Amino acid sequence: MERDFIGYADTPPKVSWPGGARLAVQLSVAYEEGAEYSLLDGPRRETMGEVPSAVAPELRDLFNESFFEYGSRVGVWRILDTLKRYDVPATWWACARALERNPRVARALVDADHEIAGHGYGWEDFSASSREDERDNIRRTVESLRRSTGQRPLGWFTRYACSPNTRELLLEEGGFVYDSLGLNDDLPYYTRVKDRPWLVVPYSFEVNDARFWRGGLGSVGDFTEYMRSAFDCLYAESQTTPKMMSVGLHCRIAGTPARSRCLVDFLEYVRGFSGVWFPRRIDIARWWLEHQVPPEW
The CATH number of the domain holding residue 250 is 3.20.20.370
Residue 171 belongs to a domain: yes
Residue 115 belongs to a domain: yes
Q: Where are the beta strands (DSSP E) in the chain?
A: 23-31, 91-94, 115-118, 155-156, 178-179, 189-193, 196-200, 243-250, 276-277
* Mean per-residue pLDDT, 11-31: 96
Residue 296 belongs to a domain: no
Q: How far apart (Å, rounded) are the C-alpha atoms in residues 81 and 79?
A: 5
Instruction: Name the pLDDT band for 174 (thresholds 50, 70, 90).
Output: very high
Q: How far apart (Å, rounded) are the C-alpha atoms in residues 212 and 194?
A: 39
* Mean per-residue pLDDT, 29-58: 87
- Are the beta carbons of 188 and 285 closer than 8 angstroms? yes
- The yes-or-no verdict on residue 247 having pLDDT over 80 is yes
Instruction: Name the pLDDT band for 248 (thresholds 50, 70, 90).
Output: very high
* Mean per-residue pLDDT, 266-274: 97
Decide: helix, strand or coil at residue 70: helix
- The yes-or-no verdict on residue 49 having pLDDT over 80 is no
Instruction: Name the pLDDT band for 175 (thresholds 50, 70, 90).
Output: very high
Residue 33 belongs to a domain: yes
Decide: helix, strand or coil at residue 17: coil
Instruction: Name the pLDDT band for 216 (thresholds 50, 70, 90).
Output: low
pLDDT of residue 69: 95
Q: How many domains in the chain?
A: 1
* CB count in 10 Å sphere of residue 295: 9
Instruction: Name the pLDDT band for 170 (thresholds 50, 70, 90).
Output: very high
Which is more confident, 216 or 245?
245
pLDDT of residue 57: 86
- The yes-or-no verdict on residue 215 having pLDDT over 70 is no
Which is more confident, 60 or 57?
60
pLDDT of residue 138: 96
Residue 264 belongs to a domain: yes
Q: How far apart (Å, rounded) are the C-alpha atoms in residues 45 and 36?
A: 8
Which is more confident, 42 or 280?
280
Residue 11 belongs to a domain: no
- The yes-or-no verdict on residue 1 having pLDDT over 80 is no
- The yes-or-no verdict on residue 217 having pLDDT over 80 is no
pLDDT of residue 288: 97
pLDDT of residue 42: 84
- Are the beta carbons of 186 and 234 closer than 8 angstroms? yes
- The yes-or-no verdict on residue 235 having pLDDT over 80 is yes
Pairing of strands 178-179, 155-156: parallel
Q: Which of 29, 186, 26 is nearest to 105 (CA)?
A: 29
CA 275 to chain centre: 23
Q: What is the pLDDT of residues 136-168, one digit of tens each?
A: 999 999 999 999 999 999 999 998 878 999 999
Q: What is the pLDDT of residues 78-119, one digit of tens each?
A: 999 999 999 999 999 999 999 999 999 999 999 999 999 999
Residue 12 belongs to a domain: no
Residue 13 belongs to a domain: no
Mean pLDDT taken over the chain: 94
Q: Phi first, then psi: what are they for 196, rounded to 5°?
A: -130, 150
pLDDT of residue 73: 98
Nearest 5°: the CA angle 20, 233, 15 is 30
Q: Partners of 189 in the beta sheet?
A: 200
Expressed in percent and rounded to 5, the helix, strand and coil fractions of the chain are 40, 15, 45
Instruction: Name the pLDDT band for 209 (thresholds 50, 70, 90).
Output: very high
Q: Structural domain of residue 285, as residue ranges?
A: 18-48+60-291
